[in-house]
Amino acid sequence: MPNLAPEEYFAPFSQIIPNFAAFCSKLYDPLPIHLRMNTLKASVRETRLRLKRQGIALVEEKPLNLVYRAKNLSHPGHLLEFSLGHLHSQALSSVLAAIVLEPQPGEAVLDLCAAPGSKTSLMAQLMQNEGIIVANDRKPDRLIPLRANLKRLGVTNTVITRYPGQHFPKRFFFDRVLVDVPCSAEGTLRAGPNGTLRQSTWGSQKLTRLQRDLLLMAFDLLKAGGTLVYSTCTYSPDENERVLDFLLESRPAEIQPIGIDLPHSPGLQQWNETSYDPSIKYCWRIYPHQIDTVGFFMARVVKGS
């Protein structure tokens, strides 16, 4: 398949991405390195001091007091502090999904598509290793990095399961569920020094069916009054708003506003000839020219009685 400039690659979304020229321009910049401080192993102050002694400049990503941009670091995995589990390299948008879920100490939480464990380990950190997290992923090879990351980061409140997420057994119900679904991942694309993106196939019907099935199962596994976060790293409305609209038509679900003060765009009210439920405006679309991170979509959903 041919390589395309960002302006050509994302042309189908030019009418829904605000300031499309700035969006395309940003894709020529490299993705920044973000470090999430892991307070299960060391305090933020201790880790920052250790990195400062090594000449690593950190910029805090307010209002997220656990996340810092490393301005002069290219390989965080080479740091001793990484091996010790004092920090984890994680995209800022990925951090947001776990924070928006707001898992509390003592709760039962499900991460339905958990590998490689970045969001799972942050949820354990927010829960202070209290309560229980079920980290599920269906592919055996993806369980290897999941186990490794949880062990390195000192996570002790998590058990790992291997079910197809859409067929997860309904034997236990959860206070909160994170469903970060497989997607076409356009949000991860950066043109880089070559200035082009390799053309790929947009989200297929098979993929959107899987996303719907995963979201419905995640919702059905919630306790009444429980909270769910649905997230993707893609821009396609078919994988985002359309999937949430299907949930609202099928289940007693309510989309809630997200109370974090960061730049973003609201969920779309319409795409092509399809209109969506008005509450979908409370979803978040994150573009790299708004927050310098991976493009992202997320929604916070509450289950009615």
The region of weakest confidence among 121-125, 197-201, 214-218 is 197-201
pLDDT at 268 over 80: yes
pLDDT at 4: 87
Predicted pLDDT of residue 1? 55
Task: Say whether pLDDT at 202 is over 60.
Answer: no
Question: Could you tell me if 275 and 269 are in contact, meaning their C-beta atoms sit under 8 angstroms apart?
Answer: yes
Q: Are 200 and 1 in contact (CB under 8 A)?
A: yes
What is the band of 182 on the pLDDT scale with cuts at 50, 70, 90? very high
Return the pLDDT at 199.
Answer: 61
pLDDT of residue 193 exceeding 70: no
Which of the four pLDDT bands, split at 50, 70 and 90, describes residue 194?
low
Buried b (16+ CB within 10 A) or exposed e, 265-300: bebbeebeeeebbebbebbbbbbbbbbebbbbbbbb
**Whether pLDDT at 205 is above 90:** no
φ, ψ at 66 (rounded to 5°): -105, -5
How many other CB atoms are there within 10 angstroms of residue 165's CB atom? 24
Kindly indicate the confidence band of residue 203, based on its pLDDT and cuts at 50, 70 and 90.
low
Looking at every residue in the chain, the average pLDDT score rounds to: 94
CB atoms within 10 A of CB 210: 19
Pair of tokens at residue 264: 């973003």
- Proportion of the chain above pLDDT 90, given as a percent: 89
pLDDT at 201 over 70: no
As a CATH number, domain 91-303 is 3.40.50.150
* Residue 78: both structure tokens together: 């080479």
Q: How confident is the model at residue 175 (pLDDT cuts 50, 70, 90)?
A: very high
Q: Are strands 132-136 and 158-161 parallel, antiparallel or unpaired?
A: parallel
What's the whole-number mean pLDDT along residues 21-45?
Answer: 95
The values of phi and psi at residue 262, to 5°, are -140, 150
Q: Measured between alpha carbons, how far is 290 from 273 in angstroms, rounded to an integer?
A: 27
Average pLDDT over every residue of 234-242: 96
Least confident of 158-162, 201-205, 254-258: 201-205
- pLDDT-derived band of residue 26, with 50, 70 and 90 as boundaries? very high
Query: How far is residue 232's CA from residue 181's CA, in Å, rounded to a whole number?
Result: 6
Please tell me the pTM assigned to this model.
0.95
| Residues known to be catalytic | 233
Q: In angstroms, rounded to a whole number, what is the distance separating the alpha carbons of residues 111 and 149?
A: 15
pLDDT band at 197 (very low <50, low <70, confident <90, very high): confident
CA 130/CA 118 separation, integer angstroms:
18
Residue 200 has pLDDT above 70, yes or no: no
Across the range 143-152, mean pLDDT stands at 97
